[in-house]
Chains A and B, each alone.
Chain A
C-alpha cells in the first residue's frame, strides 16, 4: 500500500513538471486530489485496509497529499508568472508612434511681453491702470504740455475724430487722468494700444502698444528714475544689465532722457542687434515737467515725479527677433504657433 501511495506521489510530481498552463494544472489536481482522484480513492478504499493499518495508511496519504499540494502551489506560482510575462509581452506598444504634442494655444507675443512687464512693475509697487483709446485732445496733448500747433505734435502724427477727440498717440493721457483725479503719492503703470498715422510697413504700424510708468511723491529725483529703470532692466534681461541715460526732449518731462539698456544679445560687447554699440534704445523718460503737474492740479513746489514709457512691440521684436511689424497683426497661425505661454 505504502508503495502504491508512493507511486501516485512520484507520478504526480513527475507529471507536474510538464504542466505549462493553469488549466492543465487544475485537471491534474482534480485527477489526483479531487473527489474521484487517485489519492482520494485510497482513502475511500480504507475500508478494505486492516483496522490497525488504517492510521498508518491515513498518515501516508496525508503526507503524499501535502507534498503534492505544495508542488502544485509551486507550479501554480510558476505558471502565473509565465502567463503574466506572456501577457505583458503581448501588450508591448510602439512608443515611438507620434502623438499630438500640443494641446495649448498661446498668448500673443505682445501679451507675453506685457505680462513680464506687469510682473516686474507690480512687483515694484506700481498699480496697473487703463484709460480710453479714443481720447480727448485735452488729456492726450494739452495736459501733456503739447498745445495746439506745437511742433512736438509733428512727432506724433495723429488720427482725429473731431477737433477735440483723437485716437490717443501715447498712453500718457492715462497719467493725466490719474493726476487730475488722485492725490500723491502716485505710482502707476498704464498700458495699451496707441495710434499714429504711419502706414504699416516692416518697422511701423498705425496701431501699437505702449507701457508707461508714473511716480509722483515728495523728493522724487532723477536718481530714483534711474534706480527704478536699472531694477527693471535687471528683472527683464538679467543681472549685469544696466541703463544708459542720454539727454533728450519730451514736452511733458524736464529733464528728459532717452534710456538705452545693455544689449541683451551680446551683454554690451557689441553685435548685430545693437549695431555694434552695446546698447539698445528702449525707453523715453524724464522728470515730470512742473508745468504738467500744475496743469493737473498738483503742487509742483511740494511734489516731483518721474515718468517713463516704452513701446511694447520694440521689446517683443527684440526678444523674439521679429523683423516685420506686420506679422504681429496678421494672425497667421504659423507665426502664432511659435509662441508658448
Chain B
C-alpha cells in the first residue's frame, strides 16, 4: 500500500526523515518497503514566455525569452508547436534533473539555449494530474502562478510516498487512517480523526429513491447506502488528484474519485451506481444463479456459480459484490443521481469468488483480508462530506443501513504475569496499560488482571497472546533477553532412517558420486518415454490438481526419468562424464482421499570416464557390502535397459527385491536425448535398510595355513561366471574359505559357444593343517558337481 506522507500528516504528525520513520515502523511490525518522491524532476519552475521568434536556421524551432522570476530572462530554444509569447510554462533550468536526463546550457543549431520548456511526458506528469498537459507540445498552464514557483507545487508533486507491506493480520492498516493511527501510536503522537459532518440538502428520504434487499446476511453482514441528487460530474480538485496519484490511483471524475478516496482513507471499498440505470430502483444482494452471466466494468463476461455473491436488480446481476461493478450502472458524464454503497462482505466468500473468476481489484483485495462492518457508516458519511466539500451533489436525508447482527464489543481479560512470562520481558503492568491505551485498547487494571476493550477495527486481537504481542512490539523487541531453556534435559538425535539415508549418500560420495536434487513432480510423458507398459504400477501417480504446467503435474513414482533428465542435461552441455545419485521418496498412491506411500529410493546414474555395466555393478555391490549384504544378481530387469546389459538384484534368497541396474536401452536413450551410453541403478533404499546386517563379533584370526588350488572349467557361453562361482563354493564344502575368478578365456580351440573360466579355490581348516586327501576330495566334488549342473569339464 502506498500513502503520501502529506496525507498521513493530515491526521497525525510525522516529523522526521523517511529513513527514521521507516525504521521505527519496521521495528514495531509495520513493514516499510521503501519510499519515493512523487516529483520525478528537480529545478523546474513556472516561467512566462516573453518573446517567441522563429529560429533563423530551422523551420520548426523557436527562440524564446522566458522570465522565470529571477534575474535576466533566459533565452531558450523550443521545438514545441504550441509555444507562444505570453504563455505561462514550465521551465527546466540549467542543471535540472528530469526523468530523461540533466539539462545543460548549450547551442541548438548555433543559437544558445539556457534551459528547456517541458511537456507532460518530459516531467512524467500524467493527464490525470493535469488535464491536457500531454495534448500537443509543452504544458501551457491555465491558472496563474507567480513566476519562479516550483513546478512540483503546480502539479501537487514533491511529496514522499511511503510504500508499506501490510501484514495479513492487519487489514485495518490498508487505509490512510489505519496507518496514521498506527504511526501515531508508534511515534507517541495523536491521531486526529476529521470531524465528519455535512448538510442533507436533497429532497425526500432514501426510500423515495431506492429499495435495497439483502437476501444473504451471512455473506453481507452490513449494507449501507445513501442517495446523492443533482450530481454534477466533473474533475476532482487538485488536492484530491494529488493524493490519489500518490497512492497509485488514477483520477476519473469527482464521484468515482470520492469512492476511491474514501476506500484509501478508511479502508472501506465503496461503489457508486448511476441511480437512473438501476432497474426498478431496486438493489438486491443475493447469491448468483448457477450459470448466470455478468458483464463487469472492465467489459469481461463471467459465468457465475451459486456460491458467488452479486448485486442485482429485480431480475439480473449487475455487479459482483465487493469485486467489481457492472457496466450498466457505471457513472458517466451526465449521471444526475447516485447511490453510494458501502457494505461489508464476508471475506472467505469474497476470496473464493475473486479467485475463481480471476478478478483482483483494490476492493476485492480489501474484502478478502477483512473489512470491519462496524465502521461502514462512518466511511459512507465521509463520502457525503466530500460530496458537499466538492459541491458535486446534494445529499438526500436518511441513509439505508442493514446491519442485523452488530458484532458485540470485544472484551479480553488477561493476566499481566502470564504476559510477562510469555514474552520473557519484565514490562510493568502500568506500562502495559499505557501501551494498550496508546493503541486505543481501553484497558483497566485490577492487580495483575487487565480488562481490555478492543476497538472493532482490530479484528486480529482475540486473546491474551495477541495482547502480549501488542505490548512487546510497542515496548520493543530489542528488550527480549537471551535466556536458556530450563526444564528436563533432552537427548538430541537423528533417527535411524535419517542416519541411514545420509550413510548411503556419504558412501557414494566416497566412491566419486555427486548428490543430485531434482523436483518431486515430473511430466507424465516421462513415464511414457521410459516405455513403462500399461499395467505397470508406476504409471499410476498422485496428480496435482493445479500444477504449474503439465511437465510438473504428477508426483514421481520412480526416480529414473529425473536421473535420465539430469544425465541428458550434462551430456548436452558438453560435460565429458557424470556420476550422480539421489536419495528421495517416490509417491505411491493408496486409496482415494488417502495420503500416498512415500517410499525412499536411491537412483545412481553415470556416463563417460570408464562408466560401464561392471563399473556400476561394482558401485552397487560395494554399497551393499557396506551393509554386510551380497545381493544375488540375475540377468533381467525393466525394459528401459539394454536387454543384454541389465540385472535384477535381490536379497534373502530372492524374497526381497533390491532393485535393478543396467545400461539404458538405445531407444530410451534417444527419447531422453542421451547422446552417450548411460548406466543407471534404481535401488529400494528401504529394502536395503531393512536387510542390513549389523556389525557383530569379530572372528579370531586363523591358526592354520590355507591351501589353494586352481581349476579351469570349460562351460557353455550361457553359464554365468557368478553362478558357477557360487556353485563351486557350495560344492567345495565347509573347508572352502574363498573362491576367486581369475581368468575368462574364449578361443577357437575351445570351440564355438564355449568359454573357459579359471578359479582359485582356497581351503582352510580352523583346527588342523589340511591334507592332500582332504583337498582332493573337495576338488573331486567340485568337478563332479559342476559337470552335473553345468556340463563343465576340466580344461586340459
Contacts and interface: CB of A to CB of B under 8 A. Distances in A.
A329 B491 CA distance: 34
Contact of A122 (B477, B485, B493): B493
B490 A125 contact: yes
Contacts of A108: 514-517
Contact of B492 (A110, A122, A222): A122
Contacts of A165: 593, 595
B168 A155 contact: yes
B361 interface: no
Interface in B504-519: 505-506, 508-519
A163 B489 CA distance: 41
B545 A123 contact: no
Interface in B25-49: 26-29
B493 A128 contact: yes
Nearest to A114: B502
19 contacts: A122-B494, A126-B490, A128-B498, A151-B369, A159-B545, A159-B547, A217-B488, A218-B487, A220-B485, A225-B424, A244-B478, A249-B168, A255-B469, A257-B477, A287-B422, A287-B465, A291-B462, A331-B569, A337-B514
Contacts of A185: 487-488, 490
Contacts of A42: none
- Interface size bracket, B side: 35 or more
A102 B490 CA distance: 41
A29 interface: no
A339 B506 CA distance: 13
B472 interface: yes
Contact of A255 (B347, B473, B488): B473
B587 interface: yes
Nearest to A255: B469
Interface in B497-536: 497-498, 502, 505-506, 508-521
Contacts of B485: 215, 217, 220, 224, 227-228
A7 B69 CA distance: 133
Given A215-B485, A227-B482, A228-B485, A255 B593 contact: no
Given A149-B351, A334-B575, A254 B168 contact: no
B543 A110 contact: no
A215 B478 CA distance: 22
B520 A133 contact: yes
Contact of B472 (A105, A107, A222, A230): A222
B697 interface: no
Given A159-B546, A159-B547, A125 B423 contact: no
A111 B505 contact: yes
B168 A151 contact: yes
Contacts of B28: 247
Contacts of A328: 517
A126 B423 CA distance: 22
A161 interface: yes
A111 B515 contact: yes
A276 B423 CA distance: 30
B595 A329 contact: no
B170 interface: yes
A113 B352 CA distance: 39
A148 B424 CA distance: 33
Nearest to B546: A160
B488 to A, nearest CB: 5
B596 interface: yes
Given A125-B491, A255-B423, 10 more contacts: A107-B509, A121-B492, A136-B595, A160-B545, A206-B519, A246-B477, A249-B29, A251-B169, A289-B465, A328-B517
B405 interface: no
Contacts of B86: none
Contacts of A223: 423-425, 480-483
> Interface on chain A toward B: helix, strand, loop, or mixed SS?
mixed
Interface centre among A244, A289, A336 (most CB of B within 10 A): A336
A330 B422 contact: no
A137 to B, nearest CB: 11
Nearest to B351: A149
Interface in B588-645: 593, 595-596, 598
Interface string A145-189: 000111110110001111011010000000000000000010100
Nearest to B580: A331
Interface in B136-170: 167-170
B461 to A, nearest CB: 10
A235 to B, nearest CB: 13
A219 B578 CA distance: 53
B545 to A, nearest CB: 5
B566 A331 contact: yes
B648 interface: no
A19 interface: no
A332 interface: yes
A248 interface: yes
Contacts of B482: 223, 226-227, 230
B31 to A, nearest CB: 8
A124 B498 CA distance: 18
A206 to B, nearest CB: 6
B424 A224 contact: yes
- Interface size bracket, A side: 35 or more
Contacts of A255: 422-423, 465, 468-469, 472-473
Contacts of A160: 544-546
A333 B422 contact: no
Contacts of A248: 29, 167
- Nearest first, the 3 A-B pairs at minimum CB distance are A223-B424, A247-B29, A221-B424
Interface string A42-82: 00000000000000000000000000000000000000000
B393 interface: no
Nearest to A224: B485
B422 A304 contact: yes
Interface in B175-201: none
Nearest to B567: A331
B484 interface: yes
Interface centre among A154, A207, A221, A287 (most CB of B within 10 A): A221
Nearest to B473: A247
Interface in A269-319: 287, 289-291, 304
Interface centre among A104, A159, A187, A331 (most CB of B within 10 A): A331
Contact of A154 (B168, B580, B595): B168
A32 to B, nearest CB: 47
Nearest to B573: A332
Nearest to A160: B545
Interface in A26-48: none
Contacts of B313: none
B409 interface: no
Interface in A113-133: 115, 118, 121-130, 132-133
B22 to A, nearest CB: 12
A212 interface: no
B492 A123 contact: yes
B375 interface: no
A227 B598 contact: no
B469 A256 contact: yes
A336 B494 contact: no
B492 A127 contact: yes
A134 B424 contact: no
A199 interface: yes
Contacts of B98: none
A127 B490 contact: yes
A241 interface: no
Contact of B544 (A102, A126, A159, A339): A159
Contacts of B169: 152, 249, 251
A329 B542 CA distance: 21
